[in-house]
Structure 1
């Protein structure tokens, strides 16, 4: 016969499930076993625990999964200030890199360069400023030499520009007009044409994204406290593969894809990638994947985002089903002090009920603490 010292054994329960191992009544558990006591009729006396588990010391992690979408992120507009008529546009889905044409106006190229400052003035000899430095860095990256990369547009810069203009088929003026260049954050992928051939070139002509794939999700604002820039998550693809991701945008914060570019670009320097929209009761969360090779073959569509809601290191834990709801409130464990006989000789295991405090519920386990509870303590379990 089971010896229960201190407190009689009460009904066992499963968090979020039905009570088990009771003969009458039912266990009432408040808020998924996270607080409040329960009560149930005592089980029939004389029964040994159906199974025995051990208290273990480990790290508990409570992970939450939500649904997101894998694609290239939200598209940003590309605005041209060129005069004349649009005579060519890159194909939808095409990639445009540094020094390549985003459009042709009157059959002259308007090229993409990388940078954050918009092209707001004509660059010519004796011009100075950070926009000169930005342009010269691009000119140097394209392989043109003979000038110092600094904030001063010299005659040597003008000479290099003439070579660049010759290669583009432009008049060799040595000056860079505002309608010859559009700056973007990096290599772009054409998402959509905004105008047709023959339209005025001084307009929004394209929308573009970054070349890398990102994951976006609309999250309830009240549940988005975990979503902070830099938070690490796991992205589970449709084929079951899991890749590491990082939150790079929340709400109206600019964000974008990983890979060759951080997002789309425009003449007005709008944020690229997933620009994050917040409306109503939801907020857009953008997750970037640094290892873009891991996304090869992954088609755009629904994916899972898993993040750690809570983490408790080096705690004592037992299976949730080992918890007992005590009549006087709170929870306990049936500690098995000796194995006893097999029940045929009139002896049985010696057990006692020990009240415990509960912490994190995760992975089918629950964090516990209490007098005499330590790693290796054996506790009774239902079948």
Structure 2
């Protein structure tokens, strides 16, 4: 049978006082830096008041925006129908007036005349049509009917031919009295030369010689079909240029571009002469003098009822009151029934 020494070792006797001393030092240190106060009571939780707002009257609107382009309202392509050498071609950016020579092929001029129907044939005695009418109007405008005899009636008469001869002489052409196809280009009004594809000495072989651009600018942008209701023809949009200046434009038409998109054209109120990307925005009035509340004040109960928390004496004295909702715009929601205007509500 083993016998154990019941006396603690010297090392054991020393360890206990050392541990006690260390603990005492730690407690004293904590008390030095965290002295207790006899007056400290239990810590009370600080309550933060809840935010409140009012049911109010306001006008509701919806804002839209799109990216677009400021560009010429119309582009017109000039094609010479026969082969030949270009002996002169204009590059003037000035508006093209009736009687302006656009170019010469083999030294034969092609003249611009303002008209809605394009040139499509040779015009001579007994020709009848709108193209003849446009030619007759041009002859009068250019001053060749000094006797005021010409009947502007879509019929090419011998008198019409006599005026054409005078005109051809002034252009340096053989005075045949016949307007050959390719010597006249009927164009819409308010056009200027946009881009010239060929130069003097190049061959004209039935291709495009130049493009003409409208001096009137338009704003073009696309919208989703769901936004179509917001932009009827005649409505106004605000347009911002890259330099942050703005102008207004009036919607002139809307064209179905497919894939759920519509292309909108809007004409600026003031003339502009640049082509550039723009930002377009517009606002639609939804309701005026509507009773509204902030969207954050509305709660939906489990049974589907919408309520607001009405404040009485304080935000601790409240009750839930049912409301019926109308349209929403941004952070405001219309109330079609519920508490009166001026009622305070909790807005979490």
TM-score by length of 2: 0.71
| 1:202-244 Cα shifts (integer Å, max 9, x gaps) | 3321122212222223455x55644877252413222241312
User: Contact (CA 8 Å) 2:252, 2:267: kept in 1 or not?
Assistant: no
- 1:334 alignment partner in structure 2: 309
| 1:297-318 Cα shifts (integer Å, max 9, x gaps) | xx53221222456734553323
- 1:250 alignment partner in structure 2: 255
- Whether 2:195 is the aligned partner of 1:192: answer yes
Q: Tell me how far apart the structure 2 counterparts of residues 202 and 323 of structure 1 sit (CA, whole Å).
A: 70
- 1:154 alignment partner in structure 2: 157
Shift of 1:288: 2.8
User: Contact (CA 8 Å) 1:82, 1:110: kept in 2 or not?
Assistant: no
Q: Flag the 1:51–1:284 CA change in 2: closer, same or farther, 3 A.
A: closer
Aligned-residue RMSD, C-alpha: 3.4
Q: Secondary structure at the match of 1:132?
A: helix
- 2:299 alignment partner in structure 1: 324
- Whether 2:20 is the aligned partner of 1:53: answer no
Q: Which runs of 4+ in 1 moved over 6 A?
A: none
Q: Tell me how far apart the structure 1 counterparts of residues 172 and 286 of structure 2 sit (CA, whole Å).
A: 61
- 2:270 alignment partner in structure 1: 292
Q: Secondary structure at the match of 1:380?
A: strand
Q: Rg bigger for which structure?
A: 2
1:216 to 197, 220, 239: 220
Q: Flag the 1:230–1:203 CA change in 2: closer, same or farther, 3 A.
A: same
- 2:96 alignment partner in structure 1: 96
Q: Tell me how far apart the structure 2 counterparts of residues 48 and 237 of structure 1 sit (CA, whole Å).
A: 44
Shift of 1:247: 4.3
Q: Tell me how far apart the structure 1 counterparts of residues 275 and 164 of structure 2 sit (CA, whole Å).
A: 41
The unaligned stretches of length 5 or more in structure 2 are: 1-44
Q: Flag the 1:67–1:164 CA change in 2: closer, same or farther, 3 A.
A: same
Q: Tell me how far apart the structure 1 counterparts of residues 179 and 218 of structure 2 sit (CA, whole Å).
A: 35
Q: Tell me how far apart the structure 1 counterparts of residues 136 and 96 of structure 2 sit (CA, whole Å).
A: 20
Q: Flag the 1:284–1:144 CA change in 2: closer, same or farther, 3 A.
A: farther
Q: Flag the 1:228–1:377 CA change in 2: closer, same or farther, 3 A.
A: closer
Q: Tell me how far apart the structure 2 counterparts of residues 165 and 86 of structure 1 sit (CA, whole Å).
A: 19
- 1:358 alignment partner in structure 2: 325
- 2:66 alignment partner in structure 1: 66
Q: Flag the 1:353–1:313 CA change in 2: closer, same or farther, 3 A.
A: same
Higher helix content, 1 or 2: 2
User: Contact (CA 8 Å) 2:61, 2:287: kept in 1 or not?
Assistant: yes
- Whether 2:336 is the aligned partner of 1:369: answer yes
Higher strand content, 1 or 2: 2
User: Contact (CA 8 Å) 1:68, 1:302: kept in 2 or not?
Assistant: yes
Q: Tell me how far apart the structure 2 counterparts of residues 104 and 282 of structure 1 sit (CA, whole Å).
A: 46
Size of the alignment, in residue pairs?
Answer: 297
User: Contact (CA 8 Å) 2:294, 2:347: kept in 1 or not?
Assistant: no
Q: Flag the 1:212–1:357 CA change in 2: closer, same or farther, 3 A.
A: same
- With 135-144 and 207-216 compared, the bigger mean Cα shift is at 135-144
Q: Flag the 1:290–1:218 CA change in 2: closer, same or farther, 3 A.
A: closer
Q: Tell me how far apart the structure 2 counterparts of residues 123 and 114 of structure 1 sit (CA, whole Å).
A: 16
Shift of 1:184: 1.7
Q: Tell me how far apart the structure 2 counterparts of residues 369 and 178 of structure 1 sit (CA, whole Å).
A: 70
Q: Tell me how far apart the structure 2 counterparts of residues 98 and 286 of structure 1 sit (CA, whole Å).
A: 31
Shift of 1:173: 2.4
Q: Give the alignment of 1:152-191 within 5 angstroms.
A: 152-191=155-194
User: Contact (CA 8 Å) 1:79, 1:204: kept in 2 or not?
Assistant: yes
